[in-house]
């Protein structure tokens, strides 16, 4: 298995632009998580899905952030409009069975907003 | 509510010497506990997992951790450090209660290996 695949690996954009991050989870996994990692705040859970349905988006910082999972093999995290404080590494992870199961992380997307 | 405290933000050891990364947790339920490792520019990778079976858990790359309920600890150890062990290590607790707080990450310990 290729593992969790995220694209792009790096994204540099200007403030105000729309940014879309993509994730392909491991086939057969029923949970998908979006995390954000910064030096100041560590790892933060943004949103998670179970069987393609968003379960909890309370970690999404503001309405500028949205996430979708149109099918079991694809998810997107969109930021519109982007701001410099959104600069971080965004990770997608998937698991089989939820919280007590190991999470499999992608290699992340490093987002820089100038 | 659950929480996890990694007692050291940085640990430095010489190659070939033992590694000890300390983790204390609090949990209202029977917790599942994990250690993850993150190498530079990579995602987190599972090292090992405790889920109420044997209290001494063996993981990948020679790491192991011991669950001590009386001390609410889950310290990570390795008998002999290798240069490739240099990375960030995260202790993670999960209550069976689940939900948005179902998984709590520690702030991480940066392991430095001196040649």
- With beta carbons less than 8 A apart as the criterion, state whether B36 and B74 touch: no
Q: What is the pLDDT of residues A94-114, one digit of tens each?
A: 999 877 788 999 999 999 999
Residue A43 touches partner B, C-beta closer than 8 Å: yes
Give the other-Cβ count within 10 Å of B48's Cβ.
20
Average pLDDT over residues B45-52: 90
Q: What is the pLDDT of residue A1?
A: 67
Contact B95, B29 (CB under 8 A): yes
Chain A CB within 8 Å of residue B39 CB: no
Q: Is B52 on the interface with A (CB under 8 A)?
A: no
B37 CA: distance to closest CA in chain A (Å) = 11
Tokens of A13: 């954009």
Measure B111 CA to nearest chain A CA, in Å: 16
- pLDDT (0 to 100) of residue B100: 44
- Percentage of residues of chain A with pLDDT beyond 70: 99
Model confidence at A61, pLDDT cuts 50, 70, 90, reads: confident
| Lowest mean pLDDT across B26-30, B78-82, B104-108 | B26-30
Q: How many CB atoms lie within 10 A of CB B62?
A: 14
Among candidates B42, B44, B103 on the partner chain, residue whose Cβ is nearest the Cβ of A99: B103
The verdict on a CB contact (< 8 Å) between A91 and B44 is: yes
Cα(B14)–Cα(B58) distance, integer angstroms: 22
| Mean model confidence pLDDT for chain A | 94
B104 in contact with chain A, both atoms CB, cutoff 8 A: no
Residues whose CB is less than 8 angstroms from the CB of residue B99 and which lie 6 or more positions away in sequence, other chains included: A56
User: How close, in Å, is residue B101 to chain A by CA atoms?
Assistant: 9
Give the nearest partner residue to A59 out of B43, B100, B107, using CB atoms.
B100
How far are the Cα atoms of A10, A79, A84, B41 from residue B91, in angstroms, in the given order?
27, 29, 30, 19
Q: Is the peptide bond before A76 cis (omega within 30 degrees of 0)?
A: no
pLDDT tens-digit map of B1-32: 788 999 999 999 999 999 999 999 998 777 88
Provide the mean pLDDT of chain B: 91
């Amino acid at each position: 298995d290729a593992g969790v695949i995220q694209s792009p690996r790096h994204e540099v954009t200007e403030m105000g632009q729309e940014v879309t991050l993509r994730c392909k989870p491991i086939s057969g996994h029923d949970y998908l998580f979006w995390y954000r990692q910064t030096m100041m705040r560590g790892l933060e859970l943004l949103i998670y899905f179970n069987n393609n349905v968003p379960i909890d988006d309370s970690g999404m910082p503001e309405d500028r952030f949205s996430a979708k999972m149109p099918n079991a093999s694809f998810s997107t995290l969109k930021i519109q409009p982007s701001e410099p404080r959104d600069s971080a590494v965004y990770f997608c992870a998937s698991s089989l069975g939820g919280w007590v199961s190991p999470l499999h992380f992608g290699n992340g997307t490093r987002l820089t907003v100038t | 509510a659950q929480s996890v405290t990694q007692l050291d933000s940085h640990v430095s050891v010489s190659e070939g010497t033992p590694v000890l990364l300390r983790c204390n947790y609090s949990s209202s339920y029977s917790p599942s506990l994990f250690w993850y490792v993150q190498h530079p520019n990579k995602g987190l990778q599972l090292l090992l997992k405790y889920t109420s079976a044997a209290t001494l858990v063996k993981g990948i790359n020679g790491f192991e951790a011991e669950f001590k309920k009386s001390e609410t600890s889950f310290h990570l150890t390795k008998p002999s450090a290798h240069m490739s062990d240099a990375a960030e290590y995260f202790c993670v607790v999960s209550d069976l209660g689940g939900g948005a707080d179902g998984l709590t990450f520690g702030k991480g310990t940066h392991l430095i290996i001196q040649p």
